[in-house]
């Protein structure tokens, strides 16, 4: 008889954390980021997971998923995942529902590790002992000197690659790209991300300029909704520039479409969106079968344990906005040294905990006193 730990409680919350400076990219601007957390109680343990999403995700998990989980075995993560996916059928699985499933799935994996006294990477089986990371930020809202300082900070910390945001305006971006290339120096590769801002023709022109400037990675040159456009840019861009997309993959079917279309040189996946750790493992299997490398998008603390185990992984995004929040509000966030992130010690589960007192001033849901 396998062990069982019936779920006795599911609690969610949302915290709105202002950015340190205004942030923006090719298609969006923001001044705060919302951290949504989940605690799941079972077997005398509390599993903790989080995503970056609107507070509606916390409400959705509480309203729709908590009832699906309550009383069921918290150790049977695969069964709970499938029940959550089935339960959101009429709510629209992509978007908020997928992020709520991601939230609860992460907390369940953490719970299972704590119950069994082992880290997630020990339970899954490690593929590597450290995860290469690249510095990510370089927002379009930064002054040139701010961008330089951020890139130089990553280079000083031993990062081997850095990524900046770009708009669709090549005339404006050419000096930014050249400047970023100088700031990165000889030791770090330069990557750019348009967040879907460009038309196909704009993207091809940008890719030509980027390749000539030593850029090695062009992320989401056109909208990820334009899968054929991604394929076209991938095929026609100079060979030195890899095309990457996948951050809006809310399920395995999105990844399958990108891969079957030959739309990416590198698949990106984000466990805070793609239905959790379980969904991330599916993305890795799809990338394996497509012989395409995999790169993790955002939320590095949440991903680190799973990232140690993925077959196709090449690196993980060390996103300025999220690293800052994880350093502020979490116990034992991972540290990146010499271009890799290594867990600080072998803590069970995901190895994370919220610093509740530090987070409390930012809480926006549930409303009212703690």
Residues that bind Mg ion in the complex, under the rule CB under 5 A: 193, 219, 247
Burial class (CB in 10 A: 0-12, 13-18, 19+), 156: exposed
Shortest Cβ 118–Mg ion spacing (Å):
33
H helices within the chain, ranges in order?
Answer: 55-60, 66-69, 77-87, 98-116, 120-124, 144-156, 170-184, 200-212, 227-236, 252-260, 276-290, 300-307, 320-329, 356-359
- Ramachandran angles phi, psi of 237, nearest 5°: -70, 150
Looking at the Cβ atoms of 309 and 313, the one nearer to Mg ion is 313
CA distance 4 to 161: 44
Q: Which pairs from 180-184 meet CB under 8 Å and 24+ separation?
A: 180/138, 180/147, 180/151, 181/213, 181/214, 181/215, 183/147, 183/148, 183/151, 183/152, 183/155, 184/151, 184/155
Looking at the Cβ atoms of 15 and 319, the one nearer to Mg ion is 319
Looking at the Cβ atoms of 124 and 161, the one nearer to Mg ion is 161
Whether omega for the bond prior to residue 38 falls within 30 degrees of 0, making it cis, is no
CA distance 113 to 122: 9
Shortest Cβ 344–Mg ion spacing (Å):
27
Looking at the Cβ atoms of 248 and 365, the one nearer to Mg ion is 248
Looking at the Cβ atoms of 302 and 352, the one nearer to Mg ion is 302
CA distance 66 to 76: 15
Looking at the Cβ atoms of 75 and 259, the one nearer to Mg ion is 259
Shortest Cβ 356–Mg ion spacing (Å):
31
Looking at the Cβ atoms of 109 and 176, the one nearer to Mg ion is 176
CA distance 281 to 294: 11
Looking at the Cβ atoms of 58 and 307, the one nearer to Mg ion is 307
Give yes or no for a contact between 352 and 302, defined as CB atoms under 8 angstroms apart: yes
Shortest Cβ 227–Mg ion spacing (Å):
16
Shortest Cβ 279–Mg ion spacing (Å):
18
Shortest Cβ 298–Mg ion spacing (Å):
8
3-state class of 341 per DSSP?
strand
Shortest Cβ 193–Mg ion spacing (Å):
4
Question: Which residue in the shown chain puts its C-beta closest to Mg ion?
Answer: 193
Shortest Cβ 218–Mg ion spacing (Å):
11
Shortest Cβ 85–Mg ion spacing (Å):
25
What DSSP assignment string belongs to 137-203?
Answer: E--TTS-HHHHHHHHHHHHHTT-SEEEEE--S-HHHHHHHHHHHHHHHTTTSEEEEE-TTBS-HHHH
Looking at the Cβ atoms of 41 and 247, the one nearer to Mg ion is 247
């Amino acid at each position: 008889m396998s062990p069982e730990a019936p779920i006795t409680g599911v609690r969610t919350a949302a915290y709105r954390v202002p950015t340190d400076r205004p942030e923006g990219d090719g298609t969006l601007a923001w001044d705060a980021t919302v951290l949504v957390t989940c605690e799941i109680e079972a077997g005398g343990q509390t599993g903790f997971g989080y995503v970056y999403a609107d507070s509606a995700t916390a409400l959705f998990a509480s309203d729709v998923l908590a009832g699906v989980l309550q009383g069921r075995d918290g150790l049977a993560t695969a069964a709970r995942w499938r029940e959550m996916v089935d339960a959101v059928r009429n709510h629209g699985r992509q978007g908020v529902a997928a992020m709520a499933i991601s939230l609860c799935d992460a907390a369940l994996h953490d719970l299972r590790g704590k119950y069994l006294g082992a880290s997630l990477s020990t339970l899954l089986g490690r593929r590597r002992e450290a995860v290469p990371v690249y510095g990510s930020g370089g927002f379009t809202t930064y002054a040139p000197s701010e961008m330089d300082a951020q890139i130089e900070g990553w280079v000083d910390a031993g990062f081997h690659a850095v990524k900046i945001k770009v708009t669709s305006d090549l005339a404006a971006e050419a000096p930014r790209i050249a400047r970023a290339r100088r700031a990165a120096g000889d030791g770090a590769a330069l990557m750019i991300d348009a967040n879907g801002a460009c038309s196909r023709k704009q993207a091809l022109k940008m890719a030509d300029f980027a390749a000539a400037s030593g850029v090695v990675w062009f992320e989401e040159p056109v909208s990820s909704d334009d899968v054929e456009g991604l394929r076209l840019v991938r095929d026609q861009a100079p060979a030195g520039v890899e095309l990457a997309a996948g951050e809006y993959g809310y399920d395995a079917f999105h990844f399958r479409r990108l891969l079957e279309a030959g739309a990416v040189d590198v698949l990106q996946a984000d466990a805070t969106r793609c239905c959790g750790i379980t969904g991330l493992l599916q993305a890795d299997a799809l990338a394996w079968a497509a012989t395409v490398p995999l790169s993790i998008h955002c939320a590095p603390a949440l991903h680190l344990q799973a990232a140690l185990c993925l077959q196709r992984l090449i690196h993980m995004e060390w996103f300025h906005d999220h690293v800052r929040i994880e350093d502020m509000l979490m116990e034992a966030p991972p540290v990146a040294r010499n271009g890799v992130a290594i867990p600080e010690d072998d803590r069970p589960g995901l190895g994370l905990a919220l610093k509740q007192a530090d987070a409390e001033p930012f809480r926006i849901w549930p409303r009212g006193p703690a």
